[in-house]
Structure 1
Amino acid sequence: MAVAPGGFSRYASQPVAQGSSPSLANAPAGNSRTLVDVIRALEGASTEMVERAKTIFFPGDPAERVYLIRRGAVRLSRVYESGEEITVALLRENSLFGVLSLLTGHRSDRFYHAVAFTRVEMITAPAVSVRQAIEDDSGVGLLLLQGLSSRILQTETMIETLTHRDMSSRLVSFLLVLCRDFGVPGDQGITIDLRLSHQAIAEAIGSTRVTITRLLGDLRSAGLVEIDRKKITVLDPIALAKRFN
């Protein structure tokens, strides 16, 4: 298996068909276009698969491409000189990231550490193609702005979650965010459609695996959550929110 630049293993890389161009000739016309259509039609775009826990890019890597998640979740974090790593966003399907190069030029370095929180399918395109598409079509810029607005809201939510010093409150807040972004309603409650290890949760909210195991056990004993094969079901989101408050 080949290891691709940027530190992650690509299980598939599917370039768009030859003839695609920054003018988006292959994208649907009119208001029916989506951000997926736009990114996929760009020159140099490709579809890539990233295994869980693999790095997509490290801080300091050249900011040369833009990414759009099709399936799965990506964790963005900031690494500080002390070695501490703080999650700034947990991105879901249709989230756009890696956009620094659109602001400061393709020679910029990455600020964040991007890791596949689950197995991820994403579309990636050269930043130069994205910039050209924006110059050619203002509608592309609007779609990108909408995507970035969603990303900003996700980041603000994660920052709010991590402001809680009490780890129990932080975990409950995180579970409620996951219910909103990845939840699937069912007869028993809302199932978070991610396979989450205790270690992955701990890394996301700045805790330890031992602490997360204990706190999830407390929530389970209180009849608020169930865990089956690493999938968490929040049995009563309202009661869980009241516990948080």
Structure 2
Amino acid sequence: MNNIRQPTRDELQQFPLLSGLDETESRRVLNKARVVTVARGEHLFHHGDPARRIWLCRTGQLKLFRLSDSGQEKIIAIINPGRSFAEATLFMPARVYPVHCAALKPSELVGFDADDLVETLHNDPEACFRLLGTLSVRMHEKINQIDSLALQNAHLRVAHYLLEEYRRLQAPKTFRLEASKKHIAGLLAVQPETLSRSLTALQREGALDMDARYITISDPEKLEQIARSGFSAPH
């Protein structure tokens, strides 16, 4: 426990909700914050648990997911360091987590007290609008994900995912997949072998090159064409 670094004001800046707090408010929020470590495979929370905190991933990696009645897992999001999550629970009449959260890697998180933040929203309209802006961006991300799952075949989902990652990371020539292929396949609702076939097809078409989890975008225009029109297909 002595090696755990306490939450800092710099970490508050990663939350749009908390970035405008003055020194007194920041000190209060930090005093109520809690640092939590989660082992690989361990749950941070379960679907239906009281949402007493919103979270910032400091290190590691987690997944948000739902389970079907038959026990089949559907990954909703993969959480990497620097990403906050569970903010939408602040607006729920009965604040509970709508998904499960489990660690894909040993992870360290900062949890911020939900009751205290709700009081902040009541007293600070600007903070409320900052949070709504964050939730709006997340909502559009999910709409795009739903469109991809509903309207595109598996190969197009893979191409679209890589294109979005390429853009999100500000178009580096080479980038590392932030999650394992197994979990990316789960996020895209495809089988791992389908993901592998699609990556091979994209490489064959000259859109990208692969080296384990490293992706080099050889031809961004071709990748976009495939993602938008389905020009390429795995064989």
- In the superposition, the TM-score normalised over structure 1's length comes to 0.71
| 1:24-79 deviation line (CA, Å, top 9, x unaligned) | xx79xxxxx95454596514113456567654322122211112346776543332
Identity of aligned residues (%): 24
Q: Which of 98, 119, 123 is the aligned partner of 1:136?
A: 123
Report the AA paired with residue 227 of structure 1.
M
Deviation at 1:242, TM superposition (A): 1.0
Deviation at 1:96, TM superposition (A): 3.9
Report the AA paired with residue 185 of structure 1.
A
Equivalent in the alignment of 1:243: 226
Report the AA paired with residue 67 of structure 2.
V
Q: Distance in 2 between matches of 1:51 and 1:234?
A: 34
Matched, 1:185 2:162: no
Matched, 1:150 2:133: no
Q: 1:55 to 1:158 in 2, by over 3 A?
A: farther
Deviation at 1:91, TM superposition (A): 5.4
Equivalent in the alignment of 2:110: 123
Q: Distance in 2 between matches of 1:104 and 1:34?
A: 19
Q: Distance in 1 between matches of 2:18 and 2:176?
A: 22
Q: Distance in 1 between matches of 2:38 and 2:207?
A: 33
Deviation at 1:176, TM superposition (A): 1.6
Of residues 211-220 and 126-135 in structure 1, the stretch that sits farther from structure 2 once superposed is 211-220
Equivalent in the alignment of 1:63: 51
Of residues 172-181 and 61-70 in structure 1, the stretch that sits farther from structure 2 once superposed is 61-70
Q: Distance in 1 between matches of 2:101 and 2:125?
A: 29
Equivalent in the alignment of 2:98: 111
Q: 1:119 to 1:218 in 2, by over 3 A?
A: farther
Of residues 149-158 and 50-59 in structure 1, the stretch that sits farther from structure 2 once superposed is 50-59
Q: Is the 8 A contact 1:76 1:90 kept in 2?
A: yes
Q: Which of 145, 159, 162 is the aligned partner of 2:146?
A: 159
Deviation at 1:193, TM superposition (A): 4.4
Q: Which is richer in helix?
A: 2
| 1:178-211 deviation line (CA, Å, top 9, x unaligned) | 2222x2534xx3x344443221221111122222
Q: What is the Cα-based RMSD across aligned positions, in Å?
A: 3.5
In structure 1, runs of 5+ residues without a counterpart are: 3-10, 18-25, 28-32
Deviation at 1:166, TM superposition (A): 1.8
Equivalent in the alignment of 2:187: 204
Deviation at 1:117, TM superposition (A): 6.0
Q: 1:195 to 1:151 in 2, by over 3 A?
A: closer
- Which secondary structure does the structure 1 equivalent of 2:32 belong to? coil
Q: Distance in 1 between matches of 2:216 and 2:51?
A: 37
Q: Which of 184, 193, 205 is the aligned partner of 1:222?
A: 205
Q: 1:152 to 1:168 in 2, by over 3 A?
A: same
Q: Is the 8 A contact 2:36 2:109 kept in 1?
A: yes
Deviation at 1:240, TM superposition (A): 1.0
Q: Distance in 2 between matches of 1:54 and 1:40?
A: 30
- In the superposition, the TM-score normalised over structure 2's length comes to 0.73
